[in-house]
Amino acid sequence: MRDAVTSLIKNYDNTGRYLDRDAMDRLKSYFDTGMLRVKAAAVINANAAEIVKQAGLRLFEELPELIRPGGNAYTTRRYAACLRDMDYYLRYASYALVAGDTDVLDERVLEGLRETYNSLAVPIGSTVYGIQIMKEIVKEQVAMAGIPVGSLLDQPFDYMTRELSETNI
């Protein structure tokens, strides 16, 4: 599992190079945004249960067929599994935000996920939609807390949805 610094060092070490101007710029931006990313993660941590709950309500309000008979989130067990998945996405997004790197998402969340979802007929499009709703809620909360973290906050959520949506060739 890597963060922005260890990823960068790994890259340069692979080719035996000293850190150059480009590396310094990237390191500088990582450290300059550090406090903002940590503060935004703190907002997520403090409101996680509420964020997941709100996102679930919005998702099922907009796609009610998911919780009707025949829907993938129908039955209490599957409804709970869906919200649990949303909670995973939120928690790992907060880690990736702090790490400034998506490696933790690849390693802990996305590996084999599409195959699992396909085998259980979990609709990927609706899951992606749920992650995007959650992103919007997180952005509202972080903005309300007065933390100008900007598009850095979008990145982990957008990365997960992009990777999940990607179809095999």
Give the closest residue to 139 by CA, choosing from 130, 150, 131, 128: 150
Please state the closest distance from residue 126 (CB atom) to ligand CYC, in A.
Answer: 4
123 contributes a contact to ligand CYC by CB under 6 A: yes
Three-class SS state of 87 = helix
Would you count residue 88 as binding ligand CYC (CB under 6 A)?
Answer: yes
Q: How far apart are CA 164 and CA 112, in angstroms?
A: 10
CA–CA gap between residue 71 and residue 115 (Å, rounded): 19
At residue 47's C-alpha, the angle toward residues 81 and 141, to 5°, is 115
109 in contact with ligand CYC (CB under 6 A): yes
**Selected range binding ligand CYC among 5-13, 35-43, 72-80, 149-157, rule: CB under 6 A:** 72-80
Interface with ligand CYC, residue 81, by CB under 6 A: yes
Chosen residue from 47, 94, 126, 141 binding ligand CYC by CB under 6 A: 126
Amino acid at 160: M
Residues that bind ligand CYC (CB under 6 A): 66, 72-73, 78, 81-82, 85-86, 88, 108-109, 113, 116, 120, 122-123, 126-127, 130
